[in-house]
Structure 1
């Protein structure tokens, strides 16, 4: 066993320990390492606990970044959602392991990690295409979370600055005219109500896929979002939305009428199918009552955009359209935040800071009027 210290660029002294493990099946030397302890006493205590754990066959990592992060993911099964864990695993597999996965975690320092980020920005994507700063910042956020849990102190690691957005923070957003054109075109479609909800109420794909009639109060005009169907690896999970995503959304008479018509059509399908119908209570199931695979809505949405002759935006961007319409109409920010289920007000504020050109023109005309006759 070795206990030692090292100095950060900030002149702060931290301690580490190294345990030599039995030689592996491949004949190579194996070590178990931990760093980032504030004192020698703390390092020796952790080393003692690690030796005890190893005696109980609990230490199986070889000290590499890949092995340690895999171990961290295994530990986090206790307190993070399965879908989140799957996202972390894919992020490590795609971006971290190919570049620094074989390095010893103990050998990492701030410069190595920052050089790794630079590599991702220039050739970290498929076919060595550049990754966006947003993706690299996500890698940074998850890595730092894992390193903190693993006791790794690297000092102040710099991350890419946020990308400048030429679209003023907005992705695909329809104008009110385009929204009406899309919905009018699909008025007789079997999925018309499914298309109307994200535009009118800002629902997510998983919320549409998991919505059940027991949570739709048509008499009072309320849709309760309590379950979402999401994809995790190769399987579909149904779970309660996180935090403020679990919410009640008020809908107006027009949306209520659309849902009543949709239910009447579904009741006809149920009667026609008879015993072959599987009544699980979904609002938007297949003709036999079974739920759709969530990606079905994504694929059909893109086709629906093309058919209606409007700009093709992704299904999630219908939420941006709904939020922007709310901003243009003067709906208070905190009300729209609750309606959309945004956990962070900054997400809603981003939309409200970049309203559609029509509203900007109105503001310009209003302020221009302050010039009075002098402008003539």
Structure 2
């Protein structure tokens, strides 16, 4: 049910309508010059009682102010508006966009959303980053209760707790910096500001990668347990272990991309889910790669393919080479094994074995075993699908590359011609 604003001048500029247990505030911001369609700013307010309606009125005033800023000189637009416009035009993967929206809603908009972009400085941004590294909710250091809801409630029933400062991870602060920088880069391109302060603002240092692969003994226990549980599950774990594929890549793998005669597998896409809806997308580096398969892996995949074909025949469904290698957990032949289900099942299996690890650690296992065996860096990078010609591989697995380098030095030294040792008389 829509409830237009009551003031005469603002009556046509916005409305508040109830959507379930929330109120949606909607303000008209003009005609989009590209699409020619009406454009609106919207924001949701939780609750539908009197207190929520008052909050909705305040949100209405804020959104109307943003529209007014849009119509005034461009440099007066707020960071919140600049981010909205950047998100509207930027080419961002849906899963990445979903993550960005969470950071924007929880952190960026409450902190700097109303600040005009021409008032932002490197110091402003660095102050925010420092505050987040001390406490993710940017508290003032005084004790207070973290309420579960903004409406009137019983704190004991709602299980409200005293605030305890928790610093935001450096990687999350770097992500926030990337979002702000992206929006301000767009503002600079659009001549809204003359320079982007995020370019000179210092962000937290990137935490050095610390891969923690399972030991060979642990890897053997994990793959043995996987085959005990299910032949298809065991084959999936084995394939990830021997190829270093990413979780989404193994879920997106189709039989048409596996040449068992040549022993070659093509990795062309990755599978992801967002709000329980799955879809295929490009690999992380947007590149197709070919991975050679060893004899044992080919045998396992042949056996797995035969089981899949038998299942199709049992269900009286024509075999399709475009079907997924690892299908859904409920036997849904047209859907792949969900990536989250792969992670959860692997985690539970490892926990039962008393091993603290996760599915991505098998990728580390594959890389470190190859490097330790003396396989060259570019080959390992190619199998993993790393970009930068091995630079990423070197950065992540520097310790194992150094160990392989030491091994190479010892091998070369052992093959060098031996120098004749001089006796004491010759030395004198």
Q: TM-score range by the shorter chain?
A: 0.7 to 0.9
Structure 2 residue 295 is matched with structure 1 residue 253:
yes
Q: What are the ranges of 5 or more consecutive residues in structure 2 without an aligned counterpart?
A: 1-28, 31-58, 138-162, 415-428
CA deviation profile, 1:285-330 (whole Å, cap 9, x unmatched): 03231323321111111112224x2523221221111111111111
Maintained 8 Å contact 2:258/2:266: yes
CA deviation profile, 1:20-63 (whole Å, cap 9, x unmatched): x99x96396554379xxxxxxxxxxx96xx7xxxxxxxxxx993
Q: What SS does structure 1 have at the residue aligned with 2:61?
A: coil
* CA positional deviation for 1:352: 3.5
The one of 82, 86, 94 aligned to 1:82: 94
Tell me what 2:79 maps to. 65
**Which range is displaced more, 337-346 or 324-333?**
337-346
Tell me what 1:96 maps to. 108
Report the Cα distance in structure 1 between the residues aligned to 2:115 and 2:164, rounded to whole angstroms. Answer: 23
Mark the CA change 1:102 to 1:265 in structure 2 (over 3 Å): closer, same or farther: same
Tell me what 2:235 maps to. 193
Tell me what 2:392 maps to. 347
Q: What SS does structure 2 have at the residue aligned with 1:191?
A: helix
Maintained 8 Å contact 1:73/1:89: no
Q: Which has the higher contact order (CA 8 A, sep 6+)?
A: 1
Alignment of 1:1-376 (within 5 A): 26=61, 29-30=65-66, 31-32=68-69, 63-76=77-90, 79-124=91-136, 128-151=165-188, 152=193, 153=195, 154=197, 156-163=200-207, 169-188=209-228, 189=230, 190-243=232-285, 245-275=287-317, 281-286=323-328, 287-291=331-335, 292-307=337-352, 309=353, 311-344=355-388, 345-355=390-400
* CA positional deviation for 1:364: 11
Paired residues in the alignment total 321
Report the Cα distance in structure 2 between the residues aligned to 1:224 and 1:67, rounded to whole angstroms. Answer: 43
Runs of 4+ in 1 over 6 A off after TM superposition: 276-279, 356-369
* CA positional deviation for 1:67: 2.5
Mark the CA change 1:184 to 1:69 in structure 2 (over 3 Å): closer, same or farther: same
**Which range is displaced more, 348-357 or 187-196?**
348-357
Report the Cα distance in structure 2 between the residues aligned to 1:114 and 1:332, rounded to whole angstroms. Answer: 41
Please tell me the root mean square deviation across aligned C-alpha atoms, in Å. Answer: 3.7
Q: Which has the larger radius of gyration?
A: 2
Q: What TM-score results when the alignment is normalised by the length of structure 2? A: 0.65
Q: What SS does structure 1 have at the residue aligned with 2:266?
A: strand
* CA positional deviation for 1:362: 6.3
* CA positional deviation for 1:68: 1.8
Q: What are the ranges of 5 or more consecutive residues in structure 1 without an aligned counterpart?
A: 1-20, 35-45, 51-60, 370-376
